[in-house]
Amino acid sequence: MLLVAVTVIVTSCKQENEEPMAKNIDNALLKEWTGPYGGVPAFDQMRVEDVKDAMLLGMELNLKEIDAIAENEEEPTFENTIEAMERAGQELDRGFAYYGILRSNMSTPEFRAIQTELAPLFSEFNSKITQNEKLFQRVKSVYEASLKDPLPADQQRVVHLRYQGFAMNGAELDAEKKERYAAINKELSSLYTQFSNNVLHDEENYVTYLTEDQLGGLSEGYIKSAAKIAADKGQEGKYAVTNTRSSMDPFLTYSTERELRKQVWTNYYSRGDNGDEYDNNELIAQILKLRRERVELLGHKNYAEWRLQDRMAKTPENAMELMEAVWPAAIGRVAEEVADMQAVADANGDNITIEPWDYRFYAEKVRKQKYDLDSDEVKQYLQLDKLTEAMHYVAGRLFNYQFTPVPEGSVPVYQEDVKVWEVTDKTSGENIGLWYLDPYAREGKRSGAWANTFRGHSTFDGKKNVLATNNSNFVKPAPGEALLVSWDDATTFFHEFGHALHYFSSTVKYPTLNGGVRDYTEFQSQLLERWLSTDEVINTYLVHHQTGEPMPAELVTKIKNAATFNQGFSTTEYLASALMDMKLHLADPENIDVDAFERETLAELNMPKELPMRHRTPHFGHVFSGEGYATAYYGYMWADVLTADAAEAFAEAPGGFYDEAMAEKLVEYLFAPRNSMDPAEAYRLFRGRDARIEALMRDRGFPVTSE
> Are 62 and 35 a contacting pair, CB within 8 Å?
no
Integer CA distances (angstroms), 453 to 396, 469, 500, 619, in order: 20, 6, 8, 25
Given a cut of 90, is residue 23 above it in pLDDT? no
Least confident of 9-13, 366-370, 636-640: 9-13
* Rg of the chain (C-alpha set): 25
The whole-number pLDDT of residue 519 equals 87
CB 35 within 8 A of CB 434: no
How many residues does the structure list for the chain? 707
User: What's phi and psi for 404, nearest 5 deg?
Assistant: -125, 125
Binning pLDDT at 50, 70 and 90, where does residue 570 land? very high
* Helical spans, DSSP H, in 255-313: 258-269, 281-297, 303-307
Would you state the pLDDT for residue 7? Answer: 32
Mean pLDDT of the chain: 94
Q: What percent of the chain has pLDDT over 90?
A: 92
Distance CA 630, CA 518 (A): 10
For residue 371, report the phi and psi dihedrals to the nearest 5 degrees: -120, 0
| Angle formed at CA 238 by CA 235 and CA 242, multiple of 5 degrees | 80
CA distance 459 to 75: 25
Q: In what order do the strands lie in the sheet with 419-425?
A: 401-405, 419-425, 431-440, 466-474, 450-455
Beta-sheet pairing, 208-210 with 239-241: antiparallel
Q: Rounded to whole angstroms, how far apart are CA atoms 10 and 86?
A: 8
Residue range 2-172, CATH number: 1.10.1370.40
* Residue 124 CB burial class (10 angstroms; 0-12, 13-18, ≥19): middle
Per-residue pLDDT band at 578 (split at 50, 70, 90): very high
Question: What is the secondary structure of 107-176 as a DSSP string?
Answer: --HHHHHHHHHHHHHHHHHHHHHHT-HHHHHHHHHHHHHHHHSPPPHHHHHHHHHHHHHHHHTTTTS-HH
What residue ranges do the domains of the chain occupy? 2-172, 206-269
Residue 53 zone, left/alpha/beta (φ > 0; ψ -120 to 50; rest): alpha
What are 660-704's pLDDT values in tens digits?
999 999 999 999 999 999 999 999 999 999 999 999 999 999 988
Biggest alpha carbon distance in the chain?
83
> DSSP letters along 655-673, please?
TGGG-HHHHHHIIIIIITT
Per-residue three-class SS string for 199-228: HHHHHHHCCEEECHHHCCCCCHHHHHHHHH
- CA–CA separation, 188 and 644 (whole Å): 37
User: Rounded to 5 degrees, what angle do the CA atoms 313, 643, 334 make?
Assistant: 85
Half-sphere exposure at residue 608, Cβ-oriented, CA atoms within 13 angstroms? 28
Q: Find residue 543's DSSP bridge partners.
A: 550
Element at 583 (helix H, strand E): helix 567-586
What's the rounded Cα separation, in Å, for the pair 664 and 655?
13
Q: Residue 472, Cβ neighbours under 10 Å: how many?
A: 20
pLDDT of residue 628: 87
The number of helix segments (H) and strand segments (E) in the chain equals 28, 7
State the Cα–Cα distance between residues 413 and 545, nearest whole angstrom: 28
Residue 29 has pLDDT above 60, yes or no: yes
**How crowded is residue 177: how many other Cβ atoms within 10 Å of its Cβ?**
15
Mean pLDDT for the stretch of residues 549-562: 93
Average pLDDT over residues 563-572: 94
Give one DSSP letter per residue of 389-453, joined into a string. HHHHHHHHHHH-EEEEEPPTTSS--SSTT-EEEEEEETTT--EEEEEEEEEE--TTSPSS-EEEE
- Provide the pLDDT for residue 699: 94
Bridge partners, 210 (sequence order): 239
Torsion of CA 280, 283, 284, 286, to 10 degrees: 170
Tell me what pLDDT residue 3 has. 33
Report the SS3 class of residue 17: coil
- Secondary structure of residue 473 in the 3-state scheme: strand
Tens digits of per-residue pLDDT, 366-407? 999 999 999 999 999 999 999 999 999 999 999 999 999 999
Q: Is residue 12 pLDDT above 90, yes or no?
A: no
Query: Do 674 and 513 form a contact (C-beta atoms < 8 A)?
Result: yes
Q: Torsion-angle region of residue 372: left (phi > 0), alpha (psi -120 to 50) or beta?
A: left
Q: Which of 248, 246, 251, 257 is nearest to 216 (CA)?
A: 257
Using the predicted structure, report yes or no on whether residue 170 has a pLDDT greater than 60. yes
Q: What amino acid occupies position 346?
A: D
151: exposed, middle or buried (Cβ count in 10 Å: 0-12, 13-18, 19+): middle
Q: Please, which residues bridge with residue 470 across strands?
A: 437, 451
Instruction: State the virtual CA torsion across 591, 594, 595, 596 in degrees, nearest 10.
Output: 50
pLDDT classification of 24: cutoffs 50, 70, 90: low
Rounded CA-CA distance 267/273 in Å is 10
Rounded CA-CA distance 123/187 in Å is 8
Q: Under a CB-based contact definition with an 8 Å cutoff, are residues 611 and 359 in contact?
A: yes
How far apart are the C-alpha atoms of 617 and 450, rounded to whole Å?
20
Give the Cα separation of 53 and 30 in Å (integer): 10
pLDDT tens sequence across 425-465: 999 999 999 999 999 999 999 988 999 999 999 999 888 99
Do residues 478 and 227 make contact, with C-beta atoms less than 8 angstroms apart? yes
Q: What CA–CA distance (Å, rounded) separates 683 from 640?
A: 13
The predicted-structure confidence for 590-630, as pLDDT tens digits, reads as follows: 999 999 999 999 999 999 999 999 999 999 999 999 998 99
| Rounded Cα distance, 401 and 429, in Å | 9
Alpha helix segments (H runs only) across 476-566: 487-504, 518-528, 535-541, 553-561
Closest to 30 in 3D by CA, of 62, 1, 8, 63: 62
The single-letter DSSP state of residue 462 is B
Does pLDDT of 10 surpass 80?
no
- Amino acid type, 248: M
Going by DSSP bridges, is the β-strand pair 466-474/431-440 parallel, antiparallel, or unpaired? parallel
